[in-house]
Amino acid sequence: MSVRSTLLSSLALVTAFAAGVGVTRMAGRESDLSAASKPAEAGRFEPQARTNAVAGQLPDLSSIAERAIQASVNISSTQQVRVDPMIQFFRGGSDFESQTSLGSGMIVSADGYVLTNSHVVGTRNAEIHVTLGDNRELPATIIGIDPDTDLAVLKVDARGIQPLPWGDSSKLRVAEWVLAVGNPFDYNQTVTLGIVSAQNRHDPQLAIYNDFIQHDAAINPGNSGGALVSGRGELVGINTMIAGNTGGYQGISFAIPSNLARRIMEALKKDGEVVRGSIGNLQFVTLTGEQAQQYGLGTRGGVFVSRVPPRDPLNGAGLLFKDKVVSFNKTAVTERNDLLRLIAEAPIGSTATVEVIRSGASKTLQLPVVKQTRPQMPGR
């Protein structure tokens, strides 16, 4: 069995969703893809009281929920998709048909920017309509889509809208109250309550560039792109997927942290894309010590080069099949996703210092960092 097939067989089922769109890939943490900014105090909002619960009592989150509902939007995305050739042969008609998906989003600025999931939007040629909390339905312009983090930015021409203040997702604590706001199963402006179950979830099952917030507020198909709101009335995450065997809520929900979402949003607003670094179209895999021994790669696990494409223009840079990468720019790595994030965050045009173990000996390589050009995946 190949290293690659071993990796693929180890993946568990993770489902991301928007009503009508099934997604099995989402996207994890990025440090500074654009200039990091401090949490804003836009439309300063002071809830009636902090939500620390008195023993035996639950906090009153009704005023926070009301404000979050007004900043929440429902999103309808219509795309032209190619009809299966067999179906088109028997049915006749056009080679394309309209396909509509529904999801959620959050107003993040008073001038009409809306943050949602990329799999809710689909592709750049999708026709998007946004329904505001006061039931106004407006067309939206797609500002940018980043499938790698499953984020997208839209713009609507609307007045009198009230965004929710940004929160600092790094300050969330386990067991802190959170609200999920969205459009599950087309039930508009639904609010559910839960707690933060864990921070910084990063796992090969989930995504490359995101460290997710795990929580247990109920989210279901249609909640994608909706807000995760703290007990302080701040936007701390964008709900994006669940883990389970049924495709429905099982108490394990994931949200993209607001700190990452804000950086990606600013990059999309500025450039229409997120620029990431690359050292070539290489593939990496994380192996345990037992797996490394099985493949004759020593007794210690780590991040191994599993494929070096022969026609890659950077193929001569120095990395070889079965090299074990132990550090990137002097930062130690033991997991594939950590290495991929470090590569993505490296400045374009710089030279990266990569330390590897090759045939039992340590070797230091100097590799050029170029702009990542991997094509985006439509509908993700």
Q: Give residues with Cβ within 8 angstroms of 279, minimum separation 6.
A: 314, 317, 319, 343, 346, 352, 354, 367, 368, 369, 370
The CA distance from 232 to 45, in Å, is 9
Catalytic annotation present for 119: yes
Sign for the pseudo-dihedral over CA of 303, 309, 313, 316: positive
Among 34, 76, 104, 119, the one annotated catalytic: 119
The CA distance from 19 to 81, in Å, is 16
The CA distance from 106 to 146, in Å, is 17
The CA distance from 206 to 25, in Å, is 7
50: tokens are 């902090």
In which residue are the tokens 């099995």 written?
24
306: tokens are 């599993």
Catalytic annotation present for 202: no
The CA distance from 199 to 376, in Å, is 28
Among 77, 101, 224, 253, the one annotated catalytic: 224
Residue 202 to residues 33, 78, 292, Cα–Cα distance (Å): 18, 32, 22
Catalytic annotation present for 129: no
The CA distance from 293 to 95, in Å, is 52
In which residue are the tokens 């390589």 written?
365
The CA distance from 157 to 316, in Å, is 50
Q: Which of 149, 150, 153 is nearest to 140 (CA)?
A: 153
3-state SS assignment for residue 345? helix
Among 148, 150, 323, 338, the one annotated catalytic: 150
The CA distance from 190 to 216, in Å, is 15
Known catalytic residues are 119, 150, 224
